[in-house]
Amino acid sequence: MYAIVDCNSFYCSCERVFRPDLKERGIVVLSNNDGCVISRTEEAKKAGIGMAVPYYQCREQLEKAGITVFSSNYYLYGDMSRRVMDTLRVIANDSNEDRVEVYSVDEAFIELSHIPPENLNDYAIHLKNTVEQWTGVRVSVGVGPSRVLSKMANRLAKKRPGITNGVLVLQSDQQIREALEETEVSDIWGIGYRYAVKLRDEFGIRSAWQLKHIPLEWARKNLGGVVGVRLIKELCGETMREKKDPLEKKKMIATTRMFGAPVYTLEPLREAIATYTARAAEKLRRQYSAASSLDVFVVTNGSKGKPYQYQPGTDHRYFNLPRPSSVTHELIAHAMPLVTSLYREGVKYLKAGVILGGIVPDNSVQADLFSAEQQKNKTALMDVMDNLNFSMRGDVIRYGATGTTRHWTMRQDKRSPRYTTRWEELFEVGKGKVD
């Protein structure tokens, strides 16, 4: 059996932890640059606020409904996610992290073979109550014989909170059948929009119960090959999906951002690329790797002074490094000529990014006999920078090429304080409402 613990409207829940005055009021959280709605509480959903709706289109509706709006606060959300996952590991007595599989920032699977069948419901309730008590984040818990069925249980628990109180265990054949019959194919974990339409319109398959009973060979032919076969077996209660490796090394690392305001000059463009390169290099070192290639790109949209028309274009410059590296200043030195060659005066720049490719383990990079000591010093410098920036939660130490004013950074006009990761922004008890 598997349980999945899913945080309810996670970003909004994180904001509510430090704003108890908003416990019964609607909240939405916006995407980067305050672009569109990416998280909503139930109150906001009932007010008719849709997911991914641009903020400028629903601003008046939000104000009329008295819904509080927040810019995304990823430092806060990341730290709260860590607290939730650490709590689950403590509950599962999982010092080796074998039972708890972190699936996303707000979801985790827990393998429950150590729990007797008659205790599953009590254990699921214990999971929910403990996480909410220790972290303040509201969660739902679904339990089933496979990961797909546990996801289905979790969705149904959210769908009917008055009956399930946020916890649903699919254990008996009758419970599983009722859940399968109630679930439409479009709501099955692993079925995308196109496949859902195809199954419904071409083959008349509308429910998970119908899908469960199709032949495996038919699924192999019409439902994505091996992936479709695994899905059908999961619906039948067989565990087919391998445990996700949280330390799986990426074969490509990218850092990209939309600018808070259009950029027209070279200097802020260089600062942005240097900043993104530094961030990508940090990710690279975190998985003990080095990159062999560097790709810099910019997204443009027209020129200054011309009538607005959204027709974005993307330009790239690519460079193969003479030697794989994860040293920030080496990568920045190679990136700067690329962005300079991309720049065209008067063009409006909306976005930029850096992609590191040709990634290899850093211990497999061939050493240079004539610069071994110098390379050792560079590695020590990167270790010190990473440790300081991690402990202080931010780029407190950075290269001058990344800039000091950074007027091009993404817009976050409604961001809440970073309560758990900044000393100067700690929540103060007894102050009442926090602005």
Q: What is the CATH number of domain 9-73?
A: 3.40.1170.60
pLDDT of 385: 87
Q: Considering the chain, what percentage of its residues have pLDDT values greater than 90? A: 47
Average pLDDT over residues 170-187: 91
Q: What is the pLDDT of residues 16-70, one digit of tens each?
A: 999 988 988 999 999 988 889 999 999 999 999 999 999 989 999 999 999 999 9
pLDDT of 13: 94
Q: What is the pLDDT of residues 350-402, one digit of tens each?
A: 999 999 999 998 887 776 666 656 666 788 888 888 888 877 766 778 888 88
Domain with CATH 3.30.1490.100 in the chain: 253-402
Joined together, the tokens standing for residue 94 give: 């999982």
Q: How many CB atoms lie within 10 A of CB 218?
A: 13
Q: Which residue has the tokens 């900043």?
A: 275
Which carries the bigger pLDDT value, residue 305 or residue 152? Answer: 152
pLDDT of 367: 67
pTM listed for this prediction: 0.81
Q: Is the pLDDT of residue 244 over 70?
A: no
Q: What is the pLDDT of residues 280-338, one digit of tens each?
A: 999 999 888 999 999 999 999 877 777 777 788 899 999 999 889 999 999 999 999 99
Q: Shortest CA distance to 69 belongs to which of 434, 421, 413, 410?
A: 413
Q: Shortest CA distance to 289 belongs to which of 334, 325, 331, 255?
A: 325
3-state secondary structure at position 41: coil
Q: Shortest CA distance to 287 belongs to which of 173, 363, 350?
A: 363
Q: Which residue has the tokens 């490719």?
A: 357
pLDDT of 413: 85
Average pLDDT over residues 191-195: 87
Distance separating alpha carbons of residues 279 and 401, to the nearest angstrom: 13
Residue 107 DSSP label: E
Instruction: Please say whether the beta carbons of 154 and 142 come within 8 A.
Output: yes
Going from the C-alpha of 194 to that of each of 186, 198, 225, the distances in angstroms are 9, 6, 15
Average pLDDT taken over every residue of the chain? 87
Q: Is the pLDDT of residue 433 over 60?
A: no
3-state secondary structure at position 370: coil
Domain with CATH 1.10.150.20 in the chain: 185-240
pLDDT of 249: 72
**C-alpha distance across the termini of the chain, in Å:** 44
Q: Which CATH class is domain 185-240?
A: mainly alpha
Residue 241 DSSP label: S
pLDDT of 339: 94
**Opening angle at CA 340, ends 339 and 342, nearest 5:** 60
pLDDT of 341: 94
Confidence of residue 279 (pLDDT cuts 50, 70, 90): very high
Domain 253-402: which topology? Dna Ligase; domain 1 (3.30.1490)
Distance separating alpha carbons of residues 223 and 219, to the nearest angstrom: 5
Identify the helix (H) or strand (E) that includes residue 120: helix 120-135
Average pLDDT over residues 144-171: 89
Instruction: Please say whether the beta carbons of 301 and 350 come within 8 A.
Output: yes
Q: Which residue has the tokens 């403990």?
A: 130
Q: Is the pLDDT of residue 275 over 90?
A: yes
Domain with CATH 3.40.1170.60 in the chain: 9-73
Q: What is the pLDDT of residues 86-124, one digit of tens each?
A: 999 998 875 555 788 888 899 999 998 888 999 999 999
Instruction: Please say whether the beta carbons of 23 and 16 come within 8 A.
Output: yes
Average pLDDT over residues 238-260: 76
Q: Is the pLDDT of residue 80 over 60?
A: yes
Q: What is the largest CA-CA distance in the chain?
A: 72
